[in-house]
Amino acid sequence: MAVNFGVNYLAVVVAAVVALVIGFIWYSPRVFGNRWMAYL
C-alpha cells in the first residue's frame, strides 16, 4: 500500500535554502553574531 502525499520537492528545497540564508544573516557578526558568541 503506497502513500502519496503529493510533496512539492521544489518548495521543500527552497524553504530549506531560505532557512539557511536567514540563519547565516542572523548569526553574522554584523547582526547578532558577536552577542550570540559572548553567551556561549
Q: Which residues contact 33 (CB under 8 A, 6 or more apart)?
A: 27
pLDDT at 39 > cutoff 90: no
The pLDDT value recorded for residue 5 is 81
pLDDT > 90? residue 38? no
Q: Which secondary structure element, helix H or strand E, spans residue 39, and what is its range?
A: helix 34-39
Tell me the per-residue pLDDT of 2-31, one tens digit each, with 9 for 90 and over.
677 888 999 999 999 999 999 998 888 887
Cβ-proximal residues to 21 (8 Å cutoff; 6+ apart), any chain:
none
Of residues 15, 23, 17, the one with CA closest to residue 32: 23
Name residue, grid cell 502519496: 4
Q: Where are the domains of the chain?
A: 9-39
The structure's pTM equals: 0.66
Give the model's pLDDT for residue 1.
59
